[in-house]
């Protein structure tokens, strides 16, 4: 390096070094204060009180299983509770905390958790939708706002981000994560952790994040919830682990173990997973909690009775037992019988107390109970306005033949479908704090947007399913679609009468909110029967039809893609979804979402994802015998990963590389020009993929390595630059060492994973 440059570089990093040293001194000071505080508490605690800290019962506000605990107040008094979840409202939290502070012997504050997953009372789009914004700053802001609202209401611990990579659309919980890609999933994981935790976990408006479900839950066999996961360590390290690790690297305060087994041992008792990898390899020092009855369920898994599985969970590294009360009721005996050690109990108790210290609870137990803040900061107009703008960023325009969209605010619009006015379903799965009745349905959004300009006529058109039993399964927790007693023909005829009066039809169809989320797997991932019949009838009118699709998973839309002129995927957009959909339908907002999961042609292609291996016999475009494919469909998806249209039209130039060879200590710059050829300003997600042409192990045909969401004015051209370094070319090899291998790399840049420009360089 030239000497002047060297000096400049040295000089310019000096202030950063000073800050880093100051930061690390401060951290050490904080740690030693924390250790002193925790030591002094622990020196006074009985073994039973230490075990009590490991107990996390549900207060029952929202149950996902059978709560084993009862009479919680009494247990708090007896020092048998370390934290509570499923309790809502600052005053309620304060009351529980008061019992701990005034009636228990040790007066250790409780930690209060909740499933704050995509917002609190102001709900944002479901995580899968949010990920389609590809805007990590925006996502970070949603987490920040969720934390501000939740912390004003007494909550200091949120069970998010859920970062389970998912490539099987049958799995209902695909809705809760960020899709199929490890790189994008990792960037979103860290953004969410930063958003929830901010820079200071002890601040009254931040909460401790909990990354879940560690690990590999998204790969449950057959897409069936709680099922077995079995995969190679190579795939874990290269594909499924990165988002969890990214959350750990971003400083996540806690981790939740998953329900599934790995290598024959449930995650909750898996020492390799929880201790060897998470703590020893990745350096996680925070608190590890089981999932809901994750400990006691290991009896059903068949690895022992409650005492055995509780001892195994503690031994594997679990600190807090959610709901099972296996720790509470068996660890004392296990200690007496020599099945666990006192050191293991101390370690777990220490981590729970450390979490409380980090949240500032040991200094001020009521820090997060601020009724005045709750009154002022939750579900405010400005929060709702933000949610509306976020929702519009999450929608993905899948088809727009002959520029049917945006619609004009004129004439008569027929709004038809069971999801058009289903207020309980607007916010989607896992919106436990939502104010359902105040959510904006599409009907309300359209009516507001068109007042005095266009007429909106509405008909339900169909139920969710023909079969009432299926509809009942799909609408739990009061998230009803108010099943109509009329039969399918009657409902459809009414809809057709309405449709005939209209200039354009907006069909609001798809899944109900609870057709995805926990325990909501499906073996048919299409739009349900009666709704498709309705859609066909609407298309038969010959009027233009816009399908507004509500869904929490990639769906099979082959027929719809072939027959419906315009399709807008709106997921479940949060409390303000109806307004946001209207914003996009009428072009106030230009859609810019891109899919983060592959949409297959049919269920038989599942699991499907873009970052496949080539195999020794890759299929070409058409079927060929003895190639890797199917007799009946090609390997193509209907919509590929990264895909999404805009009202603008983007064109990509050729890729420019600043060099054609690089070394492992070097980096390479990838540049491309993107032009907006359309008449409207728009946003585009520019995506960079790599393919390692020859490796010691087989490498995916494409892997996302960078992306940038840019705003481009109509007619404008922007040059987008990306820097790739050796780390981006690296992967876990057979011996699980991480590194790159010399050789040729293909680099692809484009607006989705299929339509890309290509260039090549070599790593020397």
Phi, psi of 138 (to 5 degrees): -60, -45
Question: What does the alpha-carbon distance between residue 259 and residue 228 come to, in Å, rounded to a whole number?
Answer: 9
Residue 200 among the catalytic residues: no
What's the min distance (Å) between Cβ of 251 and ligand BGC? 20
- C-beta of 174 vs 454, nearer to ligand BGC: 174
> Cβ of residue 85: shortest distance to ligand BGC, in angstroms?
6
Q: What angle do CA 215, 218, 219 make, to 5 degrees?
A: 95
Q: Which residues have C-beta within 8 Å of that of residue 224, sequence separation ≥ 6?
A: 170, 171, 521
* Cis peptide upstream of residue 406 (ω within 30 degrees of 0): yes
Residue 274 C-beta: closest distance to ligand BGC, Å: 17
Closest residue by Cα to residue 724 from 675, 641, 651, 655: 655
Residue with smaller CB distance to ligand BGC, 49 or 115: 115
Q: What angle do CA 141, 196, 325 make, to 5 degrees?
A: 145
* Least distance in angstroms from the C-beta of 256 to ligand BGC: 6
CB of 353 to ligand BGC, least distance (A): 22
Catalytic residue among 115, 153, 164, 291: 291
Q: Which residues pair with 744 in a beta bridge?
A: 762
Q: Which residues 6+ apart lie within 8 Å of 50 measured at CB?
A: 42, 345, 346, 349
Q: Which residues pair with 549 in a beta bridge?
A: 509, 569
CA dihedral over 135, 140, 146, 148, signed as positive or negative = negative
Task: Kindly tell me which of 291 and 447 has the beta carbon lying closer to ligand BGC.
Answer: 291
Count of beta carbons in the 10 Å neighbourhood of residue 623: 14
Site string for ligand BGC, 157-176 (x = CB under 6 A): --x-----------------
Per CB under 6 A, does 64 bind ligand BGC?
yes
Least distance in Å: CB of 555 to ligand BGC? 23
Tokens of 366: 């009521």
Binding mask of the shown chain, residues 118 to 157, with x at each position contacting ligand BGC by CB under 6 A: ----------------------------------------
- Give the DSSP letter of residue 60: S
In the complex with ligand BGC, which residue's Cβ is closer, 294 or 528? 294
Q: Which of residues 164 and 728 has its CB atom nearest to ligand BGC in the complex? A: 164
Could you tell me the CA-to-CA distances from 375 to 113, 265, 731 in Å, in that order?
20, 46, 49
In the complex, the smallest distance separating the C-beta of residue 225 from ligand BGC, rounded to whole angstroms, is 9
Residue count at the site for ligand BGC (CB under 6 A)? 7
Residues 6+ apart with CB under 8 A from 469: none
Give CA–CA dist 392/383, Å, rounded: 15
Phi, then psi, of 369 in degrees rounded to 5? -105, 90
Residue 115 or 569: which CB sits closer to ligand BGC? 115
Q: What does the DSSP 8-state code read for residue 104?
A: S
Question: At its nearest, how many Å lie between ligand BGC and the CB of residue 173?
Answer: 8
Collapse the DSSP code of 673 into the 3-class scheme (helix H, G, I; strand E, B; otherwise coil) and give the result.
Answer: strand
- Would you give the binding string for ligand BGC spanning residues 626-655, x where CB under 6 A is met? ------------------------------
Element (DSSP H or E) covering residue 158: strand 157-158
CA pair distance 453, 450, nearest whole angstrom: 5
How many angstroms separate the Cα of 145 from the Cα of each of 118, 174, 385, 431?
Answer: 10, 23, 12, 15
Pick out residues in 383-402 that bind ligand BGC (CB under 6 A). Answer: none
**What is the footprint of ligand BGC within residues 207-226 (CB under 6 A)?**
212
Question: Between residues 149 and 377, which has the closer beta carbon with respect to ligand BGC?
Answer: 149
**Which of left, alpha, beta for 79 (phi over 0: left; psi -120 to 50: alpha)?**
left
Among residues 69, 112, 115, 463, the one that binds ligand BGC under rule CB under 6 A = 115
Q: Least CB distance from residue 56 to ligand BGC, whole Å?
A: 9
Residues 650-669: x where in contact with ligand BGC by CB under 6 A, - otherwise, as a string: --------------------
Nearer to ligand BGC by Cβ, of 267 and 335: the residue is 267
Residue 292 lies near ligand BGC (rule: CB under 6 A): yes
Return the number of the residue (321 or 447) whose C-beta is nearest ligand BGC.
Answer: 321
Distance of CA 267 to the CA centre of its chain: 20
Nearer to ligand BGC, 292 or 745 (CB): 292
Pairing of strands 738-739, 731-732: antiparallel
Instruction: Name the token pair of 477.
Output: 């927790």
373 binds ligand BGC (CB under 6 A): no
Residue 406 and residue 403: Cα distance in Å, rounded?
7
**Element containing residue 763 per DSSP (H, E):** strand 756-763
Angstrom distance (rounded) from CA 197 to CA 194: 5
- Give the residue, chosen from 518, 579, 583, 703, that forms a contact with ligand BGC under the rule CB under 6 A: 518
Restricting to residues 5-24, which ones interact with ligand BGC according to CB under 6 A? Answer: none
Query: In the complex with ligand BGC, which residue's Cβ is closer, 129 or 591?
Result: 129
Element (H, E) at 732: strand 731-732
Nearest approach, Cβ of residue 259 and ligand BGC (Å): 6
Nearer to ligand BGC, 189 or 398 (CB): 189
Q: How far is the CB of 650 from ligand BGC (least distance, A)?
A: 37
CB of 290 to ligand BGC, least distance (A): 10
Give the helix ranges, DSSP H, for 78-198.
90-103, 127-131, 136-152, 182-197
CA–CA separation, 518 and 259 (whole Å): 11
566 vs 591: CA distance, rounded Å: 13
What x/- string results for residues 25 through 44 when contact with ligand BGC is judged by CB under 6 A? --------------------
Catalytically annotated residues? 291
User: Which residues sit at the interface with ligand BGC, rule CB under 6 A?
Assistant: 64, 115, 159, 212, 291-292, 518
């Amino acid at each position: 390096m030239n000497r002047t440059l060297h000096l400049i570089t040295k000089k310019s990093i000096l202030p950063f070094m000073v800050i880093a040293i100051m930061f690390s001194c401060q951290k050490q000071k904080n740690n030693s204060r924390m250790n002193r505080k925790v030591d002094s508490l622990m020196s006074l605690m009985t073994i039973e009180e230490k075990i009590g800290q490991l107990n996390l019962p549900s207060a029952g506000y929202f149950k996902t299983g059978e709560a084993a605990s009862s009479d919680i107040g009494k247990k708090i008094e007896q020092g048998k509770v370390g934290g509570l979840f499923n309790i809502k409202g600052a005053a309620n939290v304060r009351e529980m905390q008061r019992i701990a502070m005034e009636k228990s012997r040790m007066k250790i504050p409780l930690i209060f958790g909740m499933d704050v997953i995509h917002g609190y009372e102001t709900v944002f789009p479901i995580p899968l939708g949010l990920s389609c914004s590809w805007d990590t700053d925006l996502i970070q802001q949603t987490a920040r706002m969720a934390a501000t609202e939740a912390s004003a209401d007494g909550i200091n611990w949120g069970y998010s981000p859920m970062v389970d990579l998912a490539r099987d659309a049958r799995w209902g919980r695909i809705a809760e994560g960020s899709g199929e890609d490890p790189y994008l999933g990792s960037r979103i994981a860290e953004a969410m952790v930063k958003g929830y935790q901010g820079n200071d976990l002890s601040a009254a408006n931040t909460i401790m994040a909990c990354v879940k479900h560690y690990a590999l839950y998204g790969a449950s066999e057959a897409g069936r919830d709680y099922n077995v996961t079995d995969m190679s360590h190579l795939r874990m390290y290269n594909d499924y682990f990165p988002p969890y690790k990214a959350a750990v690297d971003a400083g996540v305060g806690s981790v939740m173990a998953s329900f599934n087994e790995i290598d024959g041992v449930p995650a909750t008792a898996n020492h390799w997973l929880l201790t060897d990898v998470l703590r020893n390899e990745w350096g996680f020092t925070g608190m590890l909690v089981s999932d809901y009855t994750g400990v006691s369920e290991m009896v059903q898994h068949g690895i022992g009775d409650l005492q055995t599985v509780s001892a195994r969970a503690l031994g594997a590294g679990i600190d807090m037992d959610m709901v099972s009360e296996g720790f509470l009721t068996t660890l004392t005996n296990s200690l007496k019988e020599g099945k666990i050690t006192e050191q293991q109990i101390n370690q777990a108790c220490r981590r729970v107390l450390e979490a409380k210290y980090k949240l500032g609870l040991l200094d001020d137990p009521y820090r997060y109970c601020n009724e005045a803040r709750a009154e002022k900061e939750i579900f405010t107009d400005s929060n709702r306005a933000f949610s509306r703008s976020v929702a519009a960023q999450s929608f993905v325009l899948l088809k727009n033949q002959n520029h049917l969209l945006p619609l004009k605010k004129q004439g008569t619009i027929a709004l038809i479908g069971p999801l058009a006015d289903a207020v309980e379903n607007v916010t989607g799965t896992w919106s436990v704090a939502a104010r359902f009745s105040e959510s904006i349905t599409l009907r309300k959004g359209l009516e507001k947007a068109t007042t005095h300009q266009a007429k909106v006529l509405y008909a339900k058109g169909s139920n969710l399913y023909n079969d009432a039993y299926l509809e009942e399964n799909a609408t739990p927790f009061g998230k009803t679609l108010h099943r109509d007693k009329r039969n399918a023909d009657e409902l459809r005829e009414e809809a057709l009468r309405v449709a005939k009066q209209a200039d354009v039809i907006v069909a609001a169809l798809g899944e109900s909110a609870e057709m995805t989320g926990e325990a909501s797997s499906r073996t048919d991932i299409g739009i349900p029967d009666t709704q498709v019949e309705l859609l066909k009838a609407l298309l038969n009118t010959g009027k233009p039809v816009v399908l507004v699709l509500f869904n929490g998973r990639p769906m099979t839309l082959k027929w719809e893609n072939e027959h419906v002129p315009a399709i807008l995927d709106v997921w479940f957009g949060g409390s303000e979804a109806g307004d946001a959909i209207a914003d996009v339908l009428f072009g106030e907002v230009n859609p810019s979402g891109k899919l983060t999961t592959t949409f297959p042609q049919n269920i038989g292609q599942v699991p499907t994802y873009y970052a496949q291996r080539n195999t020794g016999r890759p299929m070409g475009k058409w079927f060929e015998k003895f190639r890797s494919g199917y007799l009946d469909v090609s390997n193509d998806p209907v919509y590929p990963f990264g895909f999404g249209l805009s009202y603008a039209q983007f064109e990509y130039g050729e890729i420019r590389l600043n060099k054609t060879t690089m070394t492992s200590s070097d980096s390479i710059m990838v540049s491309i020009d993107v032009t907006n050829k359309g008449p409207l300003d728009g946003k585009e997600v520019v995506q960079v993929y790599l393919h390692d042409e020859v490796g010691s192990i087989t490498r995916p045909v494409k892997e996302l390595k960078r992306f940038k969401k840019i705003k481009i004015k109509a007619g404008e051209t922007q040059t987008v630059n990306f820097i790739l370094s050796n780390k981006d070319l690296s992967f876990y090899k057979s011996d699980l060492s991480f590194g790159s291998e010399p050789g040729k790399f293909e680099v692809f840049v484009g607006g989705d994973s299929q339509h890309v420009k290509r260039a090549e360089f070599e790593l020397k």
